[in-house]
């Protein structure tokens, strides 16, 4: 008997020595890269099952259902895996239009300037105080 | 005296315990996420100086000027840093239209199917045998 597919696809992912895989979340409609996080095996399995992004929080050392506090859930439209099977790309719909804990659309709001500095170039959409109550 | 900006912006990056930062390469014109790699401090500095993506190859343990063998250079149009200053996003022009060593446009060519499998969904643009001679 072969293992069920539901296990095999998870085995094909090349988990790192901490059992994690890097994950890029990209907004499907705009193409904007919104955030970067990590998943363990259970997080990826539950993401596929529920259709909502569930990451592994390395700082809190627990599963992190994105939006669980803020309401800024990520609906997963597509899951991609790279050529080495060690990086995941999610194509998502970002509920509320805000992925970043700073209240911005994307986490990648600092831009390098040629003078050798980082400039904040994207606006805060919603004050974090009004997001995390 | 303050340190020159050319050093300070590199110090603002939160390098991991191996002195690396994850890097996402996104095609500026299409929005396609093409690949994921790593940079150390020197790689990021040289990327900014030269305007071409220079990564740190973890397997070869050396700087890797993307396209050095294939010719598939990545012209860097913009460098972004995330909210925690520990992930870099490059907006690039992909010379030759091929980022992946398999000869595909993007490395993220495997798509998860609801039946529990990964399907290759993007075509090989150019045979790797004709890229790496």
Q: How confident is the model at residue A5 (pLDDT cuts 50, 70, 90)?
A: low
Among candidate residues A117, A1, A34, A24, the one with its CA nearest the CA of residue B12: A117
B110 touching chain A per CB within 8 A:
yes
- Pairing mode, strands A33-40 and A110-113: unpaired
For A33, A38, A88, B133, the CA distances from A72, given in Å and listed in that order, are 15, 17, 20, 48
Nearest CA distance, B27 vs chain A (angstrom) = 10
Contact A36 B22 (CB under 8 A): yes
pLDDT at B42 over 70: yes
Name the DSSP class of A25. Answer: E
Is B100 among the annotated ligand-binding positions? yes
Which chain B residues touch A24 with a CB distance below 8 Å?
24, 33, 36
Residue A11 contacts residue A44 (beta carbons within 8 Å): no
Q: Residues B11-27: what's their mean pLDDT?
A: 98
Q: What is the pLDDT of residues A119-130, one digit of tens each?
A: 999 999 999 999
A9 touching chain B per CB within 8 A:
yes
- Sheet of A33-40: strand order equals A33-40, A20-27, A88-94, A74-81, B110-113, B117-120
Exposure string of B59-73, with b = 16+ CB inside 10 Å and e = fewer, is: eeeebbbbbeebebb
What's the rounded Cα separation, in Å, for the pair B92 and B50? 13
Nearest CA distance, A86 vs chain B (angstrom) = 10
Contact B110 A9 (CB under 8 A): no
Q: Residues B39-53: what's their mean pLDDT?
A: 97
pLDDT at A3 over 90: no
Q: Residues B12-17: what's their mean pLDDT?
A: 97
Is B122 among the annotated ligand-binding positions? no
pLDDT at A103 over 60: yes
Which chain B residues touch A35 with a CB distance below 8 Å?
82
- pLDDT for res B128: 95
A15 touching chain B per CB within 8 A:
no
- pLDDT for res B78: 98
Q: How confident is the model at residue A1 (pLDDT cuts 50, 70, 90)?
A: very low
B32 touching chain A per CB within 8 A:
yes
HEC readout, chain B = CCCCHHHHHHHCCCCCCCCCEEEEEEECCCCCEEEEEEECHHHHHHHHHHCECEEEECCCCEEEECCCCCCCCEEEEEEEECCCCCCEEEEEEEHHHCCCCCCECCCCCEEEECCCEEEECCCECCCHHHHCC
Question: In chain B, what are the domains?
Answer: 5-101 (3.10.20.810)
Best of A7, A17, A27, A80 to disrupt the B interface (most B CBs within 10 Å) is A80
Apex A21 CA angle, A19 and A25, nearest 5: 150
- Please state, rounded to an integer, the average pLDDT across all residues of chain A: 95
Give the residues across from A69 on adjacent strands: none
A118 touching chain B per CB within 8 A:
yes
Q: How confident is the model at residue B5 (pLDDT cuts 50, 70, 90)?
A: low
ipTM of the complex: 0.95
Contact A80 B48 (CB under 8 A): no
A16 touching chain B per CB within 8 A:
no
Among candidate residues B19, B125, B31, B10, the one with its CA nearest the CA of residue B72: B125
Which chain B residues touch A31 with a CB distance below 8 Å?
26, 30-32
Residue A60, judged by CB atoms within 10 A of its CB (0-12, 13-18, 19+), counts as exposed
What's the rounded Cα separation, in Å, for the pair A38 and A123? 25
A128 touching chain B per CB within 8 A:
no
Among candidate residues B51, B32, B52, B47, the one with its CA nearest the CA of residue B100: B32
A68 Cβ contact list (under 8 Å, min separation 6)? none
Q: What is the pLDDT of residues A42-84, one digit of tens each?
A: 999 999 999 999 999 999 999 999 999 999 999 999 999 999 9
- pLDDT for res B2: 47
What's the rounded Cα separation, in Å, for the pair A121 and B1? 28
Q: Residues B124-128: what's their mean pLDDT?
A: 96
- Please state, rounded to an integer, the average pLDDT across all residues of chain B: 95
Q: How confident is the model at residue A2 (pLDDT cuts 50, 70, 90)?
A: very low
Q: Residues B15-37: what's their mean pLDDT?
A: 98
Which positions of A make up the binding site for Zn(2+)?
83, 100, 107
């Amino acid at each position: 008997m072969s293992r069920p597919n539901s296990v095999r696809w998870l085995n094909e992912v090349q988990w790192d020595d901490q059992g994690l895989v890097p994950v890029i979340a990209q907004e499907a409609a705009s193409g904007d890269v919104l955030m970067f996080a990590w998943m363990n095996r259970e997080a990826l399995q539950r993401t596929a099952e529920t259709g909502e992004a569930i990451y592994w929080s390395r700082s809190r050392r627990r599963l992190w259902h994105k939006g669980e506090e803020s309401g800024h859930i990520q609906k997963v439209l597509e899951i991609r895996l790279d050529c080495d099977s060690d990086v995941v790309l999610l194509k998502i719909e970002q509920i509320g239009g805000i992925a970043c804990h700073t209240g911005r659309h994307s986490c990648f709001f600092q831009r390098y300037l040629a003078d050798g500095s980082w400039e904040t170039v994207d606006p805060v959409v919603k004050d974090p105080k009004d997001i995390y109550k």
